[in-house]
Amino acid sequence: MPASARRQIRFNAFDMNCVGHQSPGLWRHPQDRSARYTDLDYWTDLAQTLEKGLFDGLFIADVLGTYDVYGASNEATLRQGTQVPVNDPLLTVSAMAHVTEHLGFGVTAGTAYEHPYPFARRLATLDHLTRGRVGWNVVTGYLPSAARNMGQEDQLEHDERYNHADEYLEVVYKLLEGSWEDDAVVRDPETGVFTDPAKVHPIRHEGKYFTVPGIAITEPSPQRTPVIYQAGASPRGVAFAAENAEAVFVSAHSKAKLKATVQRIRDAVEAAGRGRYDVKIYTLLTVITDATAEAAAAKHEEYQRYASTEGALALLSGWMGIDLSEFDLDAPIGDVQSNAIQSAVANFQTGDDGAAPWTVRDIAAAAGIGGLGPRLVGSGAEVAEELIRWVEDTDVDGFNLAYAITPGTFEDIVEFVVPELQKRGAYRTAYEPGTLRHKLFGAGDKLPATHRGARFRLAEVAR
């Protein structure tokens, strides 16, 4: 394919307000700075690095509990620094937005433990302060420890969590799309009227889980509803994404599995009355690169020496809802049921492209650096060529890039991979103007008419 006709690859950086994120043990590497996650300078410096590399955004994961499935205890998690201690992801965004102009911010927040009324205000506030560069990664939760600490015996059953999330989003849409008219705020010093009361409307929501009779208490922000991100790849998760998501994060260790997942999501989006490409799909991947293939391989070998098997198994047990300490390391996980992340289990129940099933030892080694996605190791040119092949072979839009060390992994991608992609016409050379939604789709700042959230606009409700 000629360079001029190539599809533009998109990058998100994947991080978390904690130590190590998805590379347990790598915090010990002398060049890793993730232990500085409590320092605002860490976040502002990272944001500026990503903007230099023309990334779509920084996607900040989150959990509200500890990983205590492995060994029926959180001891391994605490010992290895496996996503604990962990801080609130939303509180980093304003500072990062202040030192950047274009970078987007996808913040993770769950629907299980915070009421949608105050949360809608937090979203609108961030959208104002970032000038429309924020997105919300909607998660339904998967850690029983979080449920217990919020006064519940356990989390809701997997599919029921999505039913609850459907109503949660309905409330958020009603507040952000259907309460204040565009011109409700008049700011008229002559009449002394700041907001026209006739143009602010109660949402009168009464549902199974929530009752919200009144008005939103924030004026419309640049995007009104921030860009909706979602990461569920189970059948119920895909159905949820088809109606709500504008960006979907997936993971697969082979092109064949990724292609099937991408097609399933695009088919579902189309069946929901939207365009097949109304959703950007990013797949999880870790890149380890340098000026030469030899240098990249040496770097990868060095990183592997710091990876923690115990930390990886603690993470995996939480993601899968299965205590991997009870398995033989050289045995496959077999046919087990999960009330956690069902796609995480499915990824490891069969081998890639006909290979033997994954053993627990295989899973720990694969997930020890970068989590559930594959790893690409090579020179900038080699990685660029392989990324292009992944996009061409699977129809994915881009990559959610995990790190081995931070900010080093991202600095290497910006230095070695981005210029090679640009040479091949597969990566932008400048940002588009406008909000995050407009940068992603080029169709304006607000939700498109085909999106579920648009049904709750005042004009639609009045019909």
> Half-sphere exposure (CA, 13 Å, Cβ side) for 156?
16
Rg (CA), the chain: 22
Separation CA 210–CA 189 (nearest Å): 38
Separation CA 174–CA 302 (nearest Å): 51
Residue 47 lies in a domain: yes
DSSP string, 124-167: HHHHHHTTS-EEEEEE----HHHHHHTT-SSPPPHHHHHHHHHH
DSSP conformation class of 58: E
Selection from 127, 128, 144 nearest residue 136 by Cα? 127
Alpha helices in 202-308, H assignment, sequence order: 235-244, 255-271, 293-306
Q: Which residues of the chain have pLDDT under 50?
A: 337-345, 463
User: What's the number of domains the chain is made of?
Assistant: 1
Task: Please state the residue numbers annotated as binding site for FMN.
Answer: 62, 108, 158, 162, 234
Separation CA 145–CA 12 (nearest Å): 29
Residue 347 lies in a domain: no
So what's the pLDDT on residue 340? 42
> Half-sphere exposure (CA, 13 Å, Cβ side) for 336?
22
Contact of 153 with 124, CB cutoff 8 Å: no
Residue 130 lies in a domain: yes
Quote the crossing angle between the two packed helices 235-244 and 158-177, to the nearest 10°. Answer: 10
Q: Which residues contact 65 (CB under 8 A, 6 or more apart)?
A: 143, 144, 145, 146, 147, 148, 149
Q: Which residues contact 170 (CB under 8 A, 6 or more apart)?
A: 205, 207, 456
CATH code, domain with 392: 3.20.20.30
Residue 173 lies in a domain: yes
Task: Please state the residue numbers annotated as binding site.
Answer: 62, 108, 158, 162, 234
Q: Which domain holds residue 422?
A: 7-309+370-461
Place of tokens 């939207």: 274
Exposure of 216 by Cβ count < 10 A (0-12 exposed, 13-18 middle, 19+ buried)? buried
So what's the pLDDT on residue 347? 56
> Which structure tokens are listed for 392?
């061409």
So what's the pLDDT on residue 360? 85
Exposure of 45 by Cβ count < 10 A (0-12 exposed, 13-18 middle, 19+ buried)? middle
Q: Which one-letter amino acid corresponds to residue 241?
A: A
So what's the pLDDT on residue 346? 56
Number of other CB atoms surrounding residue 305 within 10 Å: 10
Selection from 365, 361, 368, 287 nearest residue 327 by Cα? 361
Q: Which residues contact 312 (CB under 8 A, 6 or more apart)?
A: 24, 363, 364, 365, 367, 368
Selection from 166, 65, 161 nearest residue 116 by Cα? 166
So what's the pLDDT on residue 156? 74
Residue 337 lies in a domain: no
So what's the pLDDT on residue 146? 78
pLDDT one-digit tens code per residue, 59-111: 999 988 888 999 999 999 999 999 999 999 999 999 999 999 999 999 999 99
So what's the pLDDT on residue 353? 54
Contact of 284 with 375, CB cutoff 8 Å: no
So what's the pLDDT on residue 376? 97
Separation CA 332–CA 335 (nearest Å): 9
pLDDT one-digit tens code per residue, 142-181: 677 777 887 877 677 888 889 999 999 999 999 999 999 9
Place of tokens 């098997």: 309
Residue 66 lies in a domain: yes
Query: Is 228 strand, coil or helix?
Result: strand
